[in-house]
Copies of this chain bind each other. A is one copy, B any other.
């Protein structure tokens, strides 16, 4: 039996079809819920913000991996999307998104998938190593596609990217002369600033990071190297990056879903994402719910009950235990909603969003490009 065939016999898959139209109380738990009104309001609010910022919005879809949410963000003024992986870029191109940035290095055999994507959408990819330019250029030429490149500059996070202005300039010069690729500009991700809770300090650190990035852009301009695109930013820093002189686009994406990690960083957005769960066991002040680390992205912050009460006692693989010192409002069988600590790793655990309006499932939106 082939994989596709065997997957179709996975009985879990068969259950999805009849969920549209049901009340959320009827769904098997744990279930990923998207409040459609809230997601739309978040998308609209960010669209409105960017109408008064000099930079454009290019939302990172790693947060939701969802064609419908990408389209919603595009309808509210986004100029294209950002992805972390080639698989996400494939999914977005396949969904008709016309402009995709892979904000990550792509090397080796994955380059062939890259050129396939570039055949159907305007594609740009980050790069930070001279040894990959020739490979990118040769294979883009062979495939007869146009492939844009942004030089990644390390703006202080210490992950990918050129470590100095000189290194970045050297890479930009090589890229600009490489046949088969088109140097389009620069990228820098200020991940080391994006979680700083103090608003003032976060803005100051973010400006320092953007100074490093735009310094390279200025040098490129002086040398006549193309640096029309300067891409950076996240939900926690979008106002600072989006208004920083020289930054042309901002990669904020999670704002459309929100989570506890982003709650204090961007309080103007509201929780659209929850995980529905059921109380399956209760002893003393402890209630055990049927959603654990296989249903909740627990990597940055633990989840919280949306209803407020209850202190997290533990989160295991398939269980979350909450204590209610003042008495539990939950009996065995009761439903609850969990607010994820981190949306991107939560969404990645589910095959689809249950899209909810007025307590009813109105649609199922697939989560694409999971491994």
Interfacial chain B residues near A107, Cβ < 8 Å: 278-280, 332-333
| CB atoms of B350 and A160 under 8 A apart | no
Interfacial chain B residues near A32, Cβ < 8 Å: 371
Interfacial chain B residues near A28, Cβ < 8 Å: 86-87, 109-110, 113
| CB atoms of B332 and A129 under 8 A apart | yes
Interfacial chain B residues near A4, Cβ < 8 Å: 8, 13, 16-17
Write the chain B residue with the least CB distance to A314: B159
In the complex, what distance in Å separates the CA atom of A68 from the CA atom of B258?
38
In the complex, what distance in Å separates the CA atom of A27 from the CA atom of B159?
24
Question: Which segment of A35-43, A50-58, A238-246, A281-289 sits at the interface?
Answer: A281-289
In the complex, what distance in Å separates the CA atom of A91 from the CA atom of B8?
11
Question: Which segment of A70-78, A216-224, A361-369 sits at the interface?
Answer: A361-369
| CB atoms of A286 and B158 under 8 A apart | yes
Would A12 and B90 be within 8 Å (CB), given that A294-B348, A345-B293 are in contact? yes
Nearest CB of chain B from residue A46's CB, rounded to whole Å: 21
Interfacial chain B residues near A109, Cβ < 8 Å: 26-28
| CB atoms of B283 and A163 under 8 A apart | yes
Would A294 and B345 be within 8 Å (CB), given that A6-B366, A280-B107 are in contact? yes
Interfacial chain B residues near A2, Cβ < 8 Å: 17
Question: Which segment of A140-148, A197-205, A317-325 sits at the interface?
Answer: A317-325
User: Does residue A49 face the partner (Cβ distance < 8 Å to B)?
Assistant: no
User: Does residue A85 face the partner (Cβ distance < 8 Å to B)?
Assistant: yes
User: Does residue A233 face the partner (Cβ distance < 8 Å to B)?
Assistant: no
Would A108 and B159 be within 8 Å (CB), given that A17-B3, A332-B132 are in contact? no
Nearest CB of chain B from residue A211's CB, rounded to whole Å: 20
In the complex, what distance in Å separates the CA atom of A245 from the CA atom of B4?
46
Nearest CB of chain B from residue A167's CB, rounded to whole Å: 9
In the complex, what distance in Å separates the CA atom of A242 from the CA atom of B106?
49
Write the chain B residue with the least CB distance to A331: B131
Interfacial chain B residues near A321, Cβ < 8 Å: 159
User: Does residue A177 face the partner (Cβ distance < 8 Å to B)?
Assistant: no
In the complex, what distance in Å separates the CA atom of A143 from the CA atom of B249?
59
| CB atoms of B319 and A159 under 8 A apart | yes
Interfacial chain B residues near A368, Cβ < 8 Å: 10, 12
User: Does residue A184 face the partner (Cβ distance < 8 Å to B)?
Assistant: no
Looking at the complex, which one of B94, B113, B128, B161 makes contact with A10 (CB distance below 8 Å)? B94
Write the chain B residue with the least CB distance to A128: B281
| CB atoms of B11 and A283 under 8 A apart | no
| CB atoms of B91 and A12 under 8 A apart | yes
Nearest CB of chain B from residue A64's CB, rounded to whole Å: 13
Write the chain B residue with the least CB distance to A111: B333
| CB atoms of B128 and A295 under 8 A apart | no
User: Does residue A179 face the partner (Cβ distance < 8 Å to B)?
Assistant: no
Interfacial chain B residues near A349, Cβ < 8 Å: 348-349, 370-371
Nearest CB of chain B from residue A19's CB, rounded to whole Å: 9
Nearest CB of chain B from residue A82's CB, rounded to whole Å: 12
Interface string of A5-31 (1 = CB under 8 A from B): 011111111011100000000111111
Interfacial chain B residues near A87, Cβ < 8 Å: 11-12, 28
Closest 9 CB pairs of A and B: A11-B90, A105-B280, A160-B281, A12-B87, A84-B318, A3-B364, A350-B371, A129-B332, A107-B333
**A–B complex contacts, Cβ < 8 Å, 18 sampled:** A3-B16, A3-B17, A11-B87, A11-B91, A11-B93, A27-B109, A28-B86, A28-B109, A104-B280, A105-B332, A107-B278, A107-B280, A131-B331, A132-B333, A135-B333, A160-B280, A317-B344, A317-B345
